[in-house]
Chain A
Amino acid sequence: MKSRSWKTTLGGLLALIGANLALFWPEHCAKLGGFLAALGSGLGLLFARDNDKSSEDVGAGAGSAVPMKKLGVPLFAALLLAAGLGGSGCATSNPEGRLLASTAQTVDAAMKGWSIWVVDGKAEPYSEVRVRELYGRYQLAMAAAKESYTVWKATGEKTPWERASVTLRQSRDFLLNLIDAFQRPIKPPLPSSP
């Protein structure tokens, strides 16, 4: 008997429910529906496997010593932010400050996972150099974003914040993507065809 993957099935169900909520009950659930649809799609894709990848290719069933159960965690958190946590019925005052705080906490979690990976001796020297470099860039972007956010709140001048927040998002995504990529197992080369 074929068994479905419950994770992707759940993701699909969430996406369907969200889309239907937004479609048939837009006056009450447009934001929640959109959020659920994005969440379901994101989860489904995170746990999906390309149909040309075998269980061996993706390391299914093999024991993993990844320090955080899934190193996609920070990415997942970023996905949540991108999907609009604030649109799910939560308070939405000061979304810029919430973005700053969420980014700092998310990157902090990612760096904690990464540093355990490094201390465990699992990181290549090259990857450590790259993460260190991108973390430095993220820190500069965060400092600039915090400064411009403070200026904006004090003076009402928003333009520097708008620029700085774009740079911050980019540096966060570069760093999180790099950490995620370096913590994936290296795939063996495909056998050459005769």
Chain B
Amino acid sequence: MTIIEDAVPATRHTDDERTPLLEVRDLHVEFHTREGVAKAVNGVNYTVRAGETLAVLGESGSGKSVTAQAIMGILDMPPARIPKGEILFRGQDMLKMSGEERRKLRGARIAMIFQDALSSLNPVLTVGYQLGEMFRVHLGMSRKEAKAKAIELMDRVKIPAAAARVNDYPHQFSGGMRQRIMIAMALALEPDLIIADEPTTALDVTVQAQVMDLLAELQREFNMGLILITHDLGVVADVADKIAVMYAGRIVEQAPVHELYKRPAHPYTRGLLDSIPRLDQKGQELYAIKGLPPNLLRIPTGCAFNPRCPKAQDICREQVPDLMPVTERDGGELPGRASACHFWKETIHG
């Protein structure tokens, strides 16, 4: 069986100031299950520009991965459904494209790095074959050319003795090396946007740092947009430009990375930051946000965080807070900051 796939558009776009690389507008995703409709994403907005890193932070079930899968177009539909929203890639709504058009974007212009490299690599195919597949699918290269390219890629992500290991199988590599191979696969065609879904969660701490550094380095080199999905605040701090914090399918706070750490404007963000273990707290009990993440089948009315929020008032149980710009106490602008809390003023300044 030979599949001849169309080549990717040869021209590499330069970033247009007015149209960002990726713009997600009011995205909703729901899953139809036997128990009812699970609202996984409830109106997410964010933008990513070329060369920019957006970190999306949130607990399990906050909708961060579902948003990413919706952008990639790899949600299983059904059961998933996108009732509302737009995903603009260079100004074009991907949700209106045909399946074939989207498939050609995937891997070539937008690529994804998965959490667990061992399960994301096919156990019965050599890494060389899987890396080469990118070139064969999208550029129609021959097996031999693709293999040469695969070795080049493995070199680029600093896998020692690439030429000798190109015919090895995934289980023969260590966890860090496997994640490098995943990165190499995502980078193969020099995409404009990379979505990394918890790329370092399955790795130990020292390897985490190496992999993140590599990712950041390659991102700079290619001037790519990067969406970094994580629940690990430590990973984010060094590499991200801005952060979006998600809770129950909504963005509850958005801010440039260092400002968020200094002055959170949402009680949930504050709770997350307070629950990071610190050396000077040795011997003390670790802070934890009380309660459990909401059940997506029955999201609380009003602000979804209200049952767990120390600041919750009656208004929080009744009215959903919009994501509003956050300002200084004197009304001075704080560019790029927004919070979806009725009491953001008290939270940030209080």
Q: Do A and B make up one complex?
A: no
Chain B interfacial positions (CB closer than 8 Å to A): none
